[in-house]
Amino acid sequence: MKTAVVVVAHGSRVKEANYGLYGVIENLRSTGRWDMVEPSFLQFEEPNLSCAVEGVINRGAGKVVVVPLLLFPGNHMLKDIPEEIKEQRSRHTGVEIVLTRHMGIDDRIAQIVIDRIEEATGNGKVSAGTKNTPLRPEDIEKESFRILSELIDLEQFPKDFRPIVQRVVHTTGDPDFASTLVFHPDAVTSGIEAIRAGRPILTDVTMVKAGIDKKILSSFGGEVICKISDPQVSQDAESAGDTRAAASMRAAAGMISGGIIAIGNAPTAIFEVIRLINGGGMKPALIVGIPVGFVGAVESKEELAKVSVPFITNRGRKGGSTVAVAIVNALLRIAKEKYL
């Protein structure tokens, strides 16, 4: 029986405030303990709890564990979420749907609070700021880049590649990416040209779509496409006996000519993109392929590195949606600095 975990957060009108949940999801997925791990939101962002639960059940989950990423109980925890779960149980009588406790009072949370206080007062690991001057976001980023420059030598990379390496290492906190990222020689040039031309960006999952800086992209006339949740894609995947990620690539093949494909989760999406390119059914300008995991991730990236289309990938099992987003947003920032 497949077990799915659905993490539910409150959600915010500020898009950037929702990105934290996607990082939590990536961390949970990387443990490999559950068959599926998906995000959901109570307000302002999609998918909502109902859609997320329906989605994992449609993908074969026989047990769904709903985890409220809420610190203390309130109406959402006491009323809204239980009522939604009750409704889902009535719809899916053969599926076990359970609700965990909220985060609540926990020594681990207290320790995080202590860490934040020490950072803000200058007693923590971040050295910028003073005891009387709280750290500003720009101070933290500046200090992060200073530390990063001590860990890796950006001068070893071609000039066009440096902002991308820097952003990936900064986003992940993992200097290993500096030695595992692989660039096609024309990757950055091709990606910038696609952005300037207002071409779309196709993603394999909603987490990548949500993280991309749509304000910059739309200023060039581009948009983000993600078909993973389309009902027809689910039907096509079931009929073909493959994944929704692969089916979503087929569904968008005619829409992405000259655009960018950003894959941060599904190796099967990369394999399908390669098949479509070899068959003449897809002509992207750039493929960002950084899936994470133990099944197919390494192999899919090795195959991607053989295609003639410009690509950015990495060696090994590491990767994920946050890395794919970091690469795309680095390209968007380069385009903004040069042409806006």
For residue 12, what are the contacts with CB-CB under 8 A and spacing of at least 6? Answer: 18, 44, 45
For residue 152, what are the contacts with CB-CB under 8 A and spacing of at least 6? Answer: 165, 169, 175, 178
Q: Which of the residues 76, 102, 170, 184 is marked catalytic?
A: 170
Rounded to an integer, what distance in angstroms lies between the CA atom of residue 8 and that of residue 334? 34
> Coil, strand, or helix at residue 183?
strand
Q: Would you call the peptide bond into 137 cis, given omega within 30 degrees of 0 as the criterion?
A: no
Rounded to an integer, what distance in angstroms lies between the CA atom of residue 189 and that of residue 310? 9
For residue 333, what are the contacts with CB-CB under 8 A and spacing of at least 6? Answer: 163, 167, 213, 216
The encoded tokens of residue 51 equal 């859609």
Beta bridge partners, 6, equal 38, 66
170 catalytic per annotation: yes
CA distances from 179 to 152, 314, 322 (A): 9, 9, 18
User: What do you get for the CA distance between the two ends of the chain, in Å?
Assistant: 52
CA dihedral 54→59→65→68, nearest 10 degrees, is -50
Are residues 333 and 216 in contact, defined by beta-carbon separation less than 8 angstroms?
yes
The encoded tokens of residue 223 equal 């948009």
Please identify every residue annotated as catalytic: 170
